[in-house]
Structure 1
Amino acid sequence: MADSAPLRILHCFRSPVGGIFRHVRDLVEEHRAAGHEVGILCDSSTGGAHEDRLFDSIRPHLSLGLTRIPMRRAIAPSDFVAIYKSYRHIKSLQPDILHGHGAKGGAIARLIGSALRVNKYRVARLYSPHGGSLHFSRSSLSGQAVLRLERFQEHFGDALVFVCDYERRTYEAKVGKPRKVSQVIYNGIKDAEFETIGADHGAPHFLYIGMLRDLKGPDVFIDAFARTERAVGHPLSALMVGDGPDRDRYEAMMAERGLGRRIQMKPAMPARDAFAMAKIVVVPS
């Protein structure tokens, strides 16, 4: 790779939140360090102040720019507008590689990449599921439709990149064995992330950190906290850090159970800062 010409790489994904965003930020930094030109295309309606700070931290690496347009999580008529705007922008960038992350990002990268190739433009189309469609069940009609759509979209891609073997096995079980080239490339961890983080003596017992939506299990955390209090026979304390569409519902759930004073909630922040605020981290998802 070091002896080849620099590549123009565009990462496409919907939500700049959580694990996908962390994964893309790592890729951006590594690709730029290798001498490549990198850009991002993602949703403009998700994320908050914390995500804005994260974008600012990688903006110097984005020589192909940061472009944000509205993208809904569910399939909707507005997707046609998003795809058209994305097509015009991507065509102007003339990328060598389109890497789609998650279901919406994967659709944009593969469909637009295929449209460019019809017009005799050479571009590689990569896809990393990162969960996305793989959260659906084959036992439901909606799940069957989404998973069949995933299978159909394989015709428009060149390769699948899985971040762990569990993701690969889930894809094979729900969608099928990939018909195109596939590879497991594990997420990396930086040396600084192995440094010990200490918590204050009076810190809360438990920490939940992650997106506040049922898929990640905040409701399970709240229920487990209440059961643990009953099991040990005395009050405990906890902290929930994150943002998401169901935040108000979880606050109401805690109020109903009388847990509002013992479980605090804080907006999304750097993970290491949150880890220092509690004694035990409860990992979601």
Structure 2
Amino acid sequence: MAVRNPFFGIWFSKLSRTHSCSISGILDMAEEKPPRILRIIARLNVGGPARHVILLTEKFREKGWASELAVGEVDSAEGSMEDLAVARGIEPVKFEKLGRDIHLFDDLPVIWKLYRLMRRFRPDIVHTHTAKAGAVGRAAAFLYRRGHWRGLWEPKSLRVYHTFHGHVLRGYFSGLKNSLFRRIEWALAHASTALITLSASLREELSELGVARPEKVVVIPLGIELEPFLDMAEGVPGTNPVRGELALSVDTPLVGIVGRLVPIKDHLLFFEAASRLVKEGAGTRSGAAHFLIVGDGEMRPELESRAGSLGIRERCHFIGWRSDLPDIYESLDLVALTSRNEGTPLCIIEGMAAARAIVAINVGGVGDLTGFSREAASSPPERGFRIGPVGAIIQPQDPAGFARAMAHLLDDPDALIRLGREGRDRVRRRYSIDRLVEDLESLYLKNR
């Protein structure tokens, strides 16, 4: 660390000679000051990223860091995790226009307000999460570093990180918008100390999209509080409150899908596959399956109508957002995912921790998470699906393959137990919150 003030240098030189004091000693004392980290996310809507930032804000406080969280407002149609933040003793700083929608004239004042927050809080680290917060947060961080009279040649010391929990560069917008957003992300990557992805597959995808070179991207897998799920029985128990609520016996196969009811999650494919399963599996165990839809969102009326038109409405149980997730997963035989785009889906980690087999579309980090090699995950499957260590993966846009995968698994209860056990062992080793905090702390301190 260079001493730039000549008067300080003269004073310090005399102090060193008089009191046998070294510059390293002074700097060591200065470094004992707890690091200050500002975490920014667009909103605390129900989902993995919101839980992720709440837990990280709490855990770094427990380590003695000055750890704060800035958020936008949750849309009225979405479930909120703000209660979880309050329960963990976190009062986020709220910004009215920091939501997911992008509007230039609304976003400029948000950048200015985040800059002013940084001026007050004086962070050593700014870490952004999700696309909108990543854009305005990193723009504000750039302004904070450079926005003073010596900023061009002597910027403030600040490390800036952004986590891609997924991305909106494919599957969300038109081709022109996708191209524009890729250029914006490329520019923001140059203003970042490092980018973080939750899987190696997502890092490769960002490189292919031209967002950043692979060496700029660090892979740090997701971590959650696994304990509520690890003590559950490996199979569906004789009694379960959720099955009791639905009036389903322990022998009735139950497939669950957990997530927001929005287009990117592609529940329409799930219902198409469920319809095929019921019709083609008549007389088999899988043909008697019911389907549990956990979550809410803008598509709920359309999805309920679609289930009716497919003739499976009485088999589909829409229960909205729930806080009793361990009981939810315990009630299931199989956990499903049909998203068009994902980073590392939290519901798959939770399902694996609960010792439940997985059936999922192979997108984003799903192959890494479920233990498939990249070659196996990307090669065309013979039956429309591929069985791996913890369940089945299916190529996108293939409801017939998804139906066959569900039938294959549900008709083999012993395989469900075996795959669930392997999934639990896998997440216990790789996806704990303590491991996540250690990995992030190591990254933050390495770049000091």
Query: Would you call these one fold, judging by a TM-score over 0.5?
Result: yes
| Residue 249 (structure 2) pairs with residue 219 (structure 1) | no
In structure 1, the residue matched to 2:166 is: 131
How well do the aligned residues superpose, as a CA RMSD in angstroms? 2.7
In structure 2, the residue matched to 1:57 is: 87
AA matched with 1:275: Y
Alpha-carbon separation, structure 2, partners of 1:146 and 1:86 = 21
Aligned in 2, Cα 1:221/1:10: closer, same or farther, shift over 3 Å? Answer: same
Superposition pairs of residues 262-281 of structure 1, within 5 angstroms: 262-270=315-323, 271-281=325-335
Q: Secondary structure at the match of 1:208?
A: strand
Alpha-carbon separation, structure 2, partners of 1:249 and 1:177 = 38
Alpha-carbon separation, structure 1, partners of 2:103 and 2:90 = 32
Q: Secondary structure at the match of 1:108?
A: helix
2:182–2:209 Cα contact (<8 Å) kept: yes
Q: Secondary structure at the match of 1:122?
A: coil
Alpha-carbon separation, structure 2, partners of 1:93 and 1:275 = 41
1:18–1:210 Cα contact (<8 Å) kept: yes
Unaligned runs of 5+ in 1: none
Unaligned runs of 5+ in 2: 1-30, 149-154, 241-249, 340-448
Aligned in 2, Cα 1:41/1:35: closer, same or farther, shift over 3 Å? Answer: same
Out of 99, 111, 136, the residue aligned to residue 83 of structure 1 is 111
| 1:210, distance to aligned residue in structure 2 (A) | 0.9
Superposition pairs of residues 100-249 of structure 1, within 5 angstroms: 100-118=128-146, 119=148, 120-136=155-171, 140-178=175-213, 181-192=216-227, 193-197=229-233, 198-199=236-237, 200=240, 201=250, 205-233=254-282, 234-249=287-302
Task: Compute the TM-score of the two structures, normalised by the length of structure 1.
Answer: 0.86
2:40–2:69 Cα contact (<8 Å) kept: yes
Q: Secondary structure at the match of 1:99?
A: strand
Aligned in 2, Cα 1:142/1:31: closer, same or farther, shift over 3 Å? Answer: same
1:133–1:147 Cα contact (<8 Å) kept: no
Alpha-carbon separation, structure 1, partners of 2:173 and 2:319 = 36
In structure 1, the residue matched to 2:97 is: 70
| 1:126, distance to aligned residue in structure 2 (A) | 0.8
AA matched with 1:187: L
Aligned in 2, Cα 1:137/1:55: closer, same or farther, shift over 3 Å? Answer: closer
Alpha-carbon separation, structure 1, partners of 2:71 and 2:251 = 40
| 1:167, distance to aligned residue in structure 2 (A) | 1.5
Query: Aligned pairs, how many?
Result: 280
AA matched with 1:113: A
| 1:147, distance to aligned residue in structure 2 (A) | 0.9
Alpha-carbon separation, structure 2, partners of 1:115 and 1:136 = 31
In structure 1, the residue matched to 2:49 is: 20
Alpha-carbon separation, structure 2, partners of 1:101 and 1:108 = 11
In structure 2, the residue matched to 1:35 is: 64
Q: Secondary structure at the match of 1:69?
A: coil
Aligned in 2, Cα 1:172/1:139: closer, same or farther, shift over 3 Å? Answer: farther
| 1:117, distance to aligned residue in structure 2 (A) | 0.7
1:204–1:277 Cα contact (<8 Å) kept: no
Aligned in 2, Cα 1:260/1:85: closer, same or farther, shift over 3 Å? Answer: farther
- The more displaced of 175-184 and 266-275 is 175-184
Q: Secondary structure at the match of 1:135?
A: coil
1:210–1:241 Cα contact (<8 Å) kept: yes
AA matched with 1:33: E
AA matched with 1:216: K
Q: Which has the larger radius of gyration?
A: 2
Alpha-carbon separation, structure 1, partners of 2:313 and 2:55 = 36
- The more displaced of 232-241 and 110-119 is 232-241
In structure 1, the residue matched to 2:433 is: none
Q: Secondary structure at the match of 1:39?
A: strand
Percentage of matched positions with identical amino acids: 24
Aligned in 2, Cα 1:138/1:81: closer, same or farther, shift over 3 Å? Answer: closer
| 1:179, distance to aligned residue in structure 2 (A) | 7.9
1:207–1:281 Cα contact (<8 Å) kept: yes
